[in-house]
Amino acid sequence: MAVMTYREALNLALREEMRRDPSVFVIGEEVGLYEGAYKVTQGLLREFGPRRVVDTPIAESGFTGVGIGAAMTGLRPVVEMMTFNFALVAVDQIVNTAAKIRYMSGGQYHVPIVIRGPGGPAAQLGAQHSQSMESYFYHVPGLKVVRPTTPMDAKGLLKSAIRDDDPVIFIESETLYNVKGDVPEDPDFLIPLGQAIVRREGTDVTVIAYMGMCYRAMEVAEELAAEGISVEIVDPRTLRPMDTESIIGSVRKTHRAVVVEAGAGFAGMGSEIAAFITERAFDDLDAPVERVTGANAPMPYARNLEKLKTPSKDRIAAAVRRVCYANGG
């Protein structure tokens, strides 16, 4: 085990998988010579050369399609979106081609591609560069969607994503790249896709949260412990396929659930999680499932407005108190 940043963990995952499997290559804008806009691919060009670390022009649809064609014929591309916002330019390639090739070909072809990059709320990047992107992809059968919260998850999940035979949307976060944590150095360390993790054990209420919202919820849980509320935090890690069993299991124990998500709430991840908890664990619930979501507004630039856009600790705490019918809820 070593302590490293989330960024270093991703970099290590890429290196290990590229050393392990010569069919793995990295492609995207500024991934080589520039060493990555967020330095996730730092040093890869030096170690693996331009054949396997491929700088592209600004053509997201084009180079995503290149990745898909290479994947259909036996390679394992890791396509970097400089920020995941740019994946919208390639959404047809991702949704209509990558996700559907296996199905449309009756299983003859598959697309083992990873499309990765940072997404979610960042710091004053404004409406086009600061938004939760997962909702555009987890709706699509054929795609897997990963949101790794910790450096350990970043490494273990990225390695699993690269070895996976299906297209994986792997969305990191600008705000987490410098977060430090324990990361196993064992090159065989993997975290399977589709497994949630209990970040904090508790007995009174289940909070489901990932990425920055998970860290925020952890702080809230600490504060609420002083009020006598015991919060359990479940991080889904993979949004599709989602580990519904673990979430339901936790809710059956605590009888209360709060879903926190950074993205706009309308038809968001929280809607889906709240729906399946209600469908499958209604009789176990002692309170309606609460959602604490990003505001249904584009991301503003002004710092004060930006703060209002994403769920605050106060809003999370208030929701937890409400489902516990506690004071201040």
Q: Rg for the chain (alpha carbons), in Å?
A: 20
Told to judge if 139 belongs to the known catalytic residues of this protein, a careful annotator would answer no
Told to judge if 129 belongs to the known catalytic residues of this protein, a careful annotator would answer yes
| Residue ranges with strand state E in 87-164 | 114-118, 144-146
Closer residue to another protein in complex, CB, 208/217: 208
| List of residues 6+ apart from 128 with CB closer than 8 A | 85
By CB under 8 A, name the one of 4, 26, 31, 75 that touches another protein. 75
Residues of span 300-329 touching another protein by CB under 8 A: none
End-to-end CA distance of the chain: 41
Among residues 16, 60, 272, 290, the one annotated as catalytic is: 60
Site track 181-220 with another protein (rule: CB under 8 A), x = hit: -------------x--------------------------
Residue 303 — left, alpha, or beta (φ > 0 → left; ψ -120 to 50 → alpha)? alpha
Given 3-state DSSP classes, what are the helix, strand and coil percentages for the chain, each rounded to the nearest 5? 40, 20, 40
Minimum distance, C-beta of residue 83 to another protein, in the bound complex (Å): 19
Distances (CA, A) of 27 to 55, 80, 265, 293: 6, 6, 33, 33
Residue 179 — left, alpha, or beta (φ > 0 → left; ψ -120 to 50 → alpha)? beta
Q: How far apart are CA 235 and CA 247, in angstroms?
A: 9
Do the beta carbons of residue 18 and residue 159 sit within 8 Å? no
- Please report whether residue 166 would count as binding another protein according to CB under 8 A: yes
Q: Beta 180-183 vs 2-5: how paired, if at all?
A: antiparallel
Closer residue to another protein in complex, CB, 109/301: 109
Which of these segments, 102-110, 123-131, 223-231, 297-305, binds another protein (CB under 8 A)?
Answer: 102-110
Which of these segments, 31-39, 99-107, 201-209, 313-321, binds another protein (CB under 8 A)?
Answer: 99-107
Minimum distance, C-beta of residue 48 to another protein, in the bound complex (Å): 12
Which of these segments, 65-73, 175-183, 202-210, 286-294, binds another protein (CB under 8 A)?
Answer: 65-73
- Please report whether residue 33 would count as binding another protein according to CB under 8 A: no
Do the beta carbons of residue 290 and residue 257 sit within 8 Å? yes
Residues of span 251-280 touching another protein by CB under 8 A: none
By CB under 8 A, name the one of 6, 38, 48, 63 that touches another protein. 63
Closer residue to another protein in complex, CB, 80/164: 164
Residues of span 120-159 touching another protein by CB under 8 A: 141-142, 144
Do the beta carbons of residue 202 and residue 253 sit within 8 Å? no
Q: How far apart are CA 212 and CA 174, in angstroms?
A: 10
Minimum distance, C-beta of residue 124 to another protein, in the bound complex (Å): 30
By CB under 8 A, name the one of 21, 96, 222, 266 that touches another protein. 96
Q: Which residues are catalytic?
A: 60, 129
Q: Which residues sit at the interface with another protein, rule CB under 8 A? A: 25, 51, 56-57, 59, 61-75, 77, 92-93, 96-97, 101-110, 141-142, 144, 164-166, 194, 240-244
